[in-house]
Amino acid sequence: MKIAAISVIALDIPLDRNFGGSKYNVTKRCTIITQMRTDTGLVSEVYNGDNRDHMRAVVDIIEQELAPLLIGQEIYAIERLWQRMFKCAEWNRDRKLVMEAIACMDSAIWDLLGKAAGVNVCRLLGGYRQELPLICIGGYYEEGKTLADLGREMERLRDAGLAGCKVKVGGLSAEQDAARVEAARKGAGPEFWIAVDANRGWPVAEAVKFARLIEKYDIAWFEEPCLWYDDAAMMAQVRSRTTIPINAGQSEMTAAGMRRLVESGAVDIVNFDASEAGGVTEWRRVATLCQLRGLQVGHHEEAQIAMQMIAAIPNGVCVECFEPARDPIWAGLIANRPDPKGGIIPIPQGPGFGLELNWDMVKRYRVN
């Protein structure tokens, strides 16, 4: 079975407010849908990523560089196809954009592999289970938002059937953010997961101070606690001085970069992002590395593909989503999206990633 044609659709949706963290702003939601067709008539239907600044460049890489490398190639030669595409990242350029483009192509190939076999991607990758805990990313900094508001947000998410929430921190002092975590825990109750995400917001001393202030609140993990320029060494220091598990990996764009964090003793949980960093094929390498090192595996957002991968392995933790205002694509693009109950979301059982897209929404927000 060979690849006969490739087309991509870029979506750009403005948000009604800024959903920023400690070091960034989010005012729109973007993604790329990849339609890859085989000579037997199979068509992929999967979307990847959220590049809000350089999406056009990612589309150009796919159309001008990667697609010509794949047309006419056998879909089952997944490793050979990946290596052909990876050569485009060898010369001096913004390699992260190349890895995002590869992720789109690679995910589409895995979707086709599942459709050809008649099973979901989870079963192709190991099929360890067919359901997972689903948490929400929330607790954003918003003007006028009080501690009581934050507590009520956690209560509302719990009542909506989610297993937990990852609360944004790192934008205030350790003491101020610790007060926010206390309010979140009180609103959530004892069984609801509370994790915290500093988005590389703090130096070591502030991160350690914060961690010690919140250890008593039963925190699931502390994500990307330290500044970007020496994160592995700094996270290893924080990890050695707190009982809270350290989570990182979403800022890495290759499995080799993820190995750097693992070998530095910097992480307990890895959230390498297959939707941006080379796709399922590169993610498999990271998952194997983590299993051999006794580490847990999550994923940075993109539940539509992450749930198939995380459920496939014995060391998978959970998947993440956003509320509709932050991610109208998760809320509206998947026509057959499963909903969580009691904190658990079932893995779609359709072949491949099992996605059926809302094409009315695609037409409304398409920008290419």
Q: What is the pLDDT of residues 25-40, one digit of tens each?
A: 888 999 999 999 999 9
Distance CA 147, CA 185 (A): 11
**Could you tell me the CA-to-CA distances from 159 to 141, 162, 166, 191, 321 in Å, in that order?**
22, 7, 16, 12, 16
Q: How confident is the model over 279-306, as a mean pLDDT?
A: 97
Indicate the domain borders of the chain: 3-118+358-365, 123-346
- In the block, residue with structure tokens 């069984």: 191
Q: How confident is the model over 256-264, as a mean pLDDT?
A: 97
The CATH class of 123-346 is alpha beta
Pairing between strand 131-138 and 319-321?
parallel
Confidence band, pLDDT 50/70/90 cuts, at residue 92 = confident
Helical pair 231-239 and 204-214, crossing angle rounded to 10 deg: 30
pLDDT at 91: 87
Give percent above pLDDT 70 in the chain.
100
Distance CA 220, CA 241 (A): 16
Classify 223 as helix, strand or coil.
Answer: strand
In the chain, helix, strand, coil percent, each to 5?
40, 20, 40
pLDDT at 22: 77
Distance CA 33, CA 295 (A): 31
Q: How confident is the model over 78-91, as a mean pLDDT?
A: 96
Q: At residue 17, does pLDDT exceed 90?
A: no
Give percent above pLDDT 90 in the chain.
95
Lowest mean pLDDT among 20-34, 147-161, 171-185, 235-249: 20-34
pTM of the entire predicted model = 0.95
List all residues 6 or more positions away from 231 whose beta carbon is below 8 Å from its beta carbon. Answer: 200, 224, 248, 251, 261, 266
Distance CA 69, CA 81 (A): 8
Confidence band, pLDDT 50/70/90 cuts, at residue 292 = very high
Let me know the angle formed at the C-alpha of 230 by 228 and 232, rounded to the nearest 5 degrees.
Answer: 95
Q: At residue 24, does pLDDT exceed 90?
A: no
Residues in the chain: 368
Superfamily of domain 3-118+358-365: Enolase-like, N-terminal domain (3.30.390.10)
Average pLDDT, the chain: 96
Dump pLDDT digits (tens) for 48-77: 999 999 999 999 999 999 999 999 999 999
Q: Where are the alpha helices (DSSP H) in the chain?
A: 55-61, 67-70, 78-86, 95-117, 121-125, 147-159, 174-188, 204-214, 231-239, 255-263, 279-293, 303-310, 328-332, 359-365
Q: How confident is the model over 1-10, as a mean pLDDT?
A: 97
With beta carbons less than 8 A apart as the criterion, state whether 10 and 317 touch.
Answer: no
